Structure 1
Amino acid sequence: MPVPVNAVTGFSAALADATRPLVGMWACSGSPLVAEICAGSGLDWLLIDAEHSPNGLESLLAQLQAVAGYPIVPVVRPPVLDPVIIKQYLDLGAQNLLIPMVDTADDARLAVSSIHYPPRGMRGVGSALARASRWNRIDNYLDRAGDFLSVTVQIESTTAVANLRDITAVDGVSAVFIGPSDLAASMGLLGQQDHPDVVDVVERCIRTVASFGKPVGVNAFAEPLARRYLAAGADFILVGADVALLARGSEQLATAYINDAENTRPGSAPTQSY
C-alpha cells in the first residue's frame, strides 16, 4: 500500500516564517557530496545552480536527494526561462525555482505559468512518473502542487530595473532576487559589483520590491556589501559558493605551506637564482 508523503516546506513559507533575513550559499560544483556538506552547514538555504555550473538532470536529482534530510531549503536555478526545462526540474522534485534574466512582466508571467498545471499554467502532467509527487504517494498532488512551489525571479539588467514594478506586481511571483554581477555588466561596469552606481541601483530595487510587500534578495560575496544590503532591507541573501570557498581555501593552504625559505629540506642547499 502506498505510504502518504508530505512535501517539504517551500521557500515562500520559510521567508514568511522568518524572523531575520535568510542566509544562503551557492552549490555550483555539481557534486551531491559537496551539496550535502553545504546542507549541513547551518545556513538557511542552498542555491543549486544550473546556469553557470556543470549540472544536468541526473546531478540535480542526486543533489536534491542528498540535501533532503537537512534543515535547509534548496532552490534550483535553471539555465534559462524555458517551460520544458522547468517542467523537468519540477518533476525531479525541485520545489523552489530561481529564474534568471527576467526582464519584463511577460517573462515573469511565463515563469509563473511554467510551474502551474492547467488551467492556471502550462506545466505538463506526468506526476505519476515523477519524484515530485513521490510517484503519487503525495495525496492529491495535482490539486495541491502549487501549494508546494515557489518561483523567484532574478533581476539582472537595466531593462529589468526599468520594469521592476511591473515584474514585482505579477501574481504568483513569490520573491525577487537581484544579481549585481550581470546588472553591473549591463550598466557598462563589468566586474564592478561594488561600484557606487551599481550599489545605488541595488538598494533602490530593494526598496521598490519591499514596497509591494514581497520578499527581496541579493547576491553579495563581499561581506561589507552583504551587510549593507541586509541593512537596506534584503530579506534573503547569498554570501558564498562551494567552488569559491574551495578555491580560496586551497590557495590559502598553498600560501601558508609552500615557501622556499621556510620549507627548505634539512641539509639541502637553498635554491639560487641568477
Structure 2
Amino acid sequence: MTASDLSAALHAGRQVFGTLIVSPSPRWPEVVRGCGLDFVFIDTEHIALDRAELSWMCQTYSALGLPPLVRIPAPDPYAATMVLDGGAAGVIAPYVETVEQVQALRGAVKLRPIKGQRLQQMLEGGTPEAELSNYMQQGAANRLLIVNIESVPAIAALDEILRVPGLDAVLIGPHDLSCSLGIPEQWDHPEFLAACETIFRKARAAGIGAGIHFWGDVTQQVRFLKLGASMLIHSADISLFQKHLRLELEAIRQTAGIAADASASTTALI
C-alpha cells in the first residue's frame, strides 16, 4: 500500500489496520511486513527517537509498502514539515482543538512547499496559478494529514475541524479523551463510548477516516469497529512482546509444574 492508497481507503470508508512501532531495530521491518498490516504508526510525542532514526524507519517501511504515519510532539507545522522531509507518509498531530491549528497543519502538509505570506494568502482562500496548483495537488495526494481528537473542546469544535479541506482522518487518543471526560481509563463507560461513536460518526459522514489507537483485548477493539471506526491502530510492538512473553512463560511454568513463587525466588538469586 502507498500513501495515496491509504488516503483513498480512508476517504472511501474502508477499514485499515496498523500498529505502533517503537523499536528502530533493522531486524524489525521485515518481521512486521508479514503481519497483515496496512500501515505503521510511529510516535515521536511519547517515544524517544532521533531524527536520523526516524527517517531510516520511515524510508524502510515505505519501501516495504507500509506507509509510516508519524505523530509529531505537538500540533506544530514546522515539526510536520520535518518528519515529511524525513520520509513520513503522513502526519498525525496530537491534541488538536481548533480550526486554526488544523489550517496551519494543512499548510505544512498539503500546500508544500509554499511558506510565509504566500501560504497565508492561500489558507485564506487565495488561488494559486494553475501550474503551481497542479504541482501541489500531486504532492498532497501522497501526504496524509490526520489529527488527534482527544478532549472535550476538540469534540465541541469537531464540526468545524471536519470542514477543513485536505483532512484525511481523525484519530482518537483514548487515554487523553477519557481523562478530559473526567473518567480516566474507563473504557466501558457509556460517556466514553458515546464520545467515540460521535467522533467516528461525524468523521465518516464527512468522508474521512475515523480511527483509534487501542491496546485492549480483541473484544474491545471489535467494539470500536462496530461503533464506526475505519482505522484501527492495534497495540504496539513493545506491548505485544511483553504480553506474549509473559503468557508463554506462564504457560511453560504451569506445564512444567513450576510454582510462580518458586520461579520468582530462583530468579531473584540469579
Shared fold by TM > 0.5?
yes
Is the aligned partner of 1:218 residue 2:244?
Answer: no
Which one of 122, 145, 153 corresponds to residue 151 of structure 1?
145
The 1:141–1:212 alpha-carbon spacing in structure 2 relative to 1, beyond 3 Å, is closer
CA distance in 2, matches of 1:252, 1:154: 32
1:10·1:149 contact (CA, 8 Å) conserved in 2?
A: no
The 1:155–1:32 alpha-carbon spacing in structure 2 relative to 1, beyond 3 Å, is farther
CA distance in 1, matches of 2:183, 2:8: 36
Which one of 228, 231, 238 corresponds to residue 233 of structure 2?
238
TM-score by length of 2: 0.79
2:152·2:180 contact (CA, 8 Å) conserved in 1?
A: yes
Is the aligned partner of 1:200 residue 2:188?
Answer: no
**Partner of residue 131, structure 2:** none
Cα distance, 1:35 vs structure 2: 4.0
Is the aligned partner of 1:107 residue 2:82?
Answer: no
CA offsets, 1:41-61, max 9 Å, x none?
111111111111121211111
Structure 2, unmatched stretches of 5+, are 121-133, 260-265
The structure where helix makes up a greater share of residues is 2
**Partner of residue 134, structure 1:** none
- 1:83 partner amino acid: P
Cα distance, 1:263 vs structure 2: 4.4
The 1:143–1:103 alpha-carbon spacing in structure 2 relative to 1, beyond 3 Å, is closer
**Partner of residue 13, structure 1:** 8
**Partner of residue 57, structure 2:** 63
Let me know the Cα RMSD of the aligned residues: 2.6
CA distance in 2, matches of 1:143, 1:191: 40
1:11·1:96 contact (CA, 8 Å) conserved in 2?
A: no
CA distance in 2, matches of 1:255, 1:180: 30
Which one of 251, 256, 268 corresponds to residue 246 of structure 2?
251
1:49·1:77 contact (CA, 8 Å) conserved in 2?
A: yes
TM-score by length of 1: 0.78
Percentage of identical aligned residues: 30
1:66-215 aligned at under 5 Å gives the runs: 66-115=60-109, 116=111, 117-118=113-114, 121=119, 144-215=138-209
Cα distance, 1:260 vs structure 2: 11
The 1:31–1:53 alpha-carbon spacing in structure 2 relative to 1, beyond 3 Å, is farther
The 1:81–1:67 alpha-carbon spacing in structure 2 relative to 1, beyond 3 Å, is same
2:4·2:141 contact (CA, 8 Å) conserved in 1?
A: no
Cα distance, 1:205 vs structure 2: 1.3
